[in-house]
Structure 1
Amino acid sequence: MTKQELVQKMQENQAWVPGKTVKLDFGDQGVILLDGAGSQVSETDSPADTTIKTSWDDWQKMAGGELDGMTAFMTGKLKIEGDMSNAMQLQGVLAKLRG
Structure 2
Amino acid sequence: MDLQECTAAIRAKVGDDSGLNALLKFDCGSDGVVFVNALEVPNTVSNDNLDAGCTVTLALADLSALLSGELNPVNGFMMGKLKVAGDMSVAMRLQKVV
The correspondence for 1:30, drawn from 29, 32, 38, is 32
User: 1:11: how far off?
Assistant: 2.8
Question: Matched residues in 2 for 1:81 and 1:44: separation?
Answer: 18
Q: Report the count of equivalent residues.
A: 94
User: 1:17: how far off?
Assistant: 4.5
TM-score, with normalisation over the residues of structure 2? 0.83
Question: Matched residues in 1 for 2:12 and 2:68: separation?
Answer: 18
Aligned position for 1:97: none
Residues 1:47 and 2:48 aligned together: no
Q: 1:66/1:5 Cα in 2 relative to 1: closer, same or farther (>3 Å)?
A: closer
Aligned position for 1:7: 7
User: 1:84: how far off?
Assistant: 0.5
Residues 1:20 and 2:22 aligned together: yes
Q: Deviation per CA, 1:46-88, whole angstroms, max 9, x where unpaired?
A: 1101000000111122222222211111121110000011111
Q: Deviation per CA, 1:3-24, whole angstroms, max 9, x where unpaired?
A: 2233234334427554310000
Q: Is the 8 A contact 2:20 2:93 kept in 1?
A: no
**What are the ranges of 5 or more consecutive residues in structure 2 without an aligned counterpart?**
none
Aligned position for 1:58: 62
TM-score, with normalisation over the residues of structure 1? 0.82
- Aligned-residue RMSD, C-alpha: 1.8
Residues 1:83 and 2:83 aligned together: no
| Structure 1 runs, 4 residues or longer, greater than 6 Å off | none
